[in-house]
Structure 1
């Protein structure tokens, strides 16, 4: 019996996987990649968490499987572009180099099926905290991982009660005034950079919040993360973009495999 991929698209964008950390949802990402069929895959930064790996080695088999699966896609002819972020910034030293069919680029210009052009960049270079107060960024990263650890125990108890996953940090991002203001400033800065570059929009990651919204004539797209939300941005063969929420999409897939290009069943 032939197996049809659950997510069939022209282009896929994923970021903020944070391989090398306990918060990485590698098993869910593997599930997504196995059900993904695309011509081009963009890895939009923070794929490997070099910050965390400096303080201790954590690399279970599932993390290695993610790397191998991505390399396998490249060997099968998928164009894979790796745009590093702040947590894997050392890889920026290798821009222009190919690793097993994966090309490393500081940023990229993606031309969609409808001819529109989009800047693809992680986004940390437009984050004032990362650029101007690196110590504060490290402190924030430590606090975020502590929050994730707390959230893991909380959700373990929720599963025992038959309840769905709930993200404490996502809740706080939406409720805390300063966090909301930071996200808004970041999104505006990204849209401004796209406008300066003369493109139709920007596709980024960094802030772990999947979003598609318009800033006047500029479209802002953020593919989220694979630590909490497990989201990706995909481009259909018509040049339109959607957010795939894999935590929700996999429920539909378990019941009946679906193709993204034939409907919005897998899109948030």
Structure 2
């Protein structure tokens, strides 16, 4: 039996249950081998947009949702911050749904006493967008990238290679995408500075990152469409960005910040 990894808190976003590109099987394995006092769901958990286009709900997606609900019932604090793909749940702001707290944004004090703000990030779209033409073009290109990602994953799996995001690699080479990510990061950091918090955690753009910006820790927990990443608060106060490794069947650390000294990144990690 695999020993469970124990954390103070986990942050997950952009799972997109109901979308055919969701890596629900990997997420379920992660949840089953992890124990946390609280889990923050930072938006786009259920992809209502995708379900409106085409009903797609395999058993693995149902298992992820049921497992999260069972954690809430068994005492794990579950907080849900709806995003744009599941925005209909924003109407339940301030309410509890089946033992899950729903909030448009959320504040949490870390074990080291740092103030953490959580937002999905869709509220910054107008600051980031390059205009209607680029927005529509981006949607179509992203759908095409996910198609390439599925094809690449099938080939790699058949050859015995672990999962790797072709879509993420291609996006990193596109100048407009890189510029949009920078604009988004700045908009989120500006909001964190405005609200006077130490850390801001978000999702939305499917680009995992853990860095220090203007004296604020910027943490994007990524997604479960391309990157299979999450953020964790360890029992000794570290904030870690981790990625699921399909070959090892566990997560590996990408970045780490000691929240007692938020400006210090682990020296051996790649930015």
Residue 150 of structure 1 deviates from its aligned partner by 2.3
Equivalent runs, 1:126-137 vs 2, <5 Å? 126-128=124-126, 137=135
* Aligned twin of 2:3: 4
Equivalent runs, 1:141-220 vs 2, <5 Å? 141-220=139-218
CA–CA distance in structure 1, aligned partners of residues 179 and 129 of structure 2:
18
More deviation in 169-178 or 115-124?
Answer: 169-178
CA–CA distance in structure 1, aligned partners of residues 97 and 79 of structure 2:
10
8 Å contact 1:124–1:130 — kept in the other structure?
A: no
TM-score after normalising by structure 2: 0.86
SS at match of 1:232: strand
More deviation in 13-22 or 155-164?
Answer: 155-164
* Aligned twin of 2:78: 80
Equivalent runs, 1:50-129 vs 2, <5 Å? 50-128=48-126
Which of the numbers 11, 29, 50 marks the counterpart of 2:27? 29
Cα gap change, 1:36 to 1:157, in 2 (>3 Å): same
Residue 137 of structure 1 deviates from its aligned partner by 4.7
Residue 252 of structure 1 deviates from its aligned partner by 6.5
* Aligned twin of 1:259: none
SS at match of 1:128: helix
Gaps of 5+ in 1: 255-263
Answer 1 or 2: which has greater strand percent.
2
Cα gap change, 1:158 to 1:120, in 2 (>3 Å): same
TM-score after normalising by structure 1: 0.87
Residue 246 of structure 1 deviates from its aligned partner by 1.1
Answer 1 or 2: which has greater helix percent.
1
Gaps of 5+ in 2: 252-265
Cα gap change, 1:63 to 1:135, in 2 (>3 Å): farther
Cα gap change, 1:130 to 1:92, in 2 (>3 Å): farther
Equivalent runs, 1:229-248 vs 2, <5 Å? 229-247=227-245
CA–CA distance in structure 2, aligned partners of residues 177 and 28 of structure 1:
31
* Aligned twin of 2:248: 251
Cα displacement string for residues 111-147 of structure 1 (whole angstroms, at most 9, x for unaligned residues):
1001000110101111227889678656634442332
Cα gap change, 1:107 to 1:131, in 2 (>3 Å): farther
Cα gap change, 1:135 to 1:51, in 2 (>3 Å): farther
SS at match of 1:9: strand
CA–CA distance in structure 2, aligned partners of residues 164 and 243 of structure 1:
19
Residue 155 of structure 1 deviates from its aligned partner by 2.1
Cα gap change, 1:217 to 1:29, in 2 (>3 Å): same
Structure with higher RCO (Cα < 8 A, 6+ apart): 1
CA–CA distance in structure 1, aligned partners of residues 103 and 129 of structure 2:
20
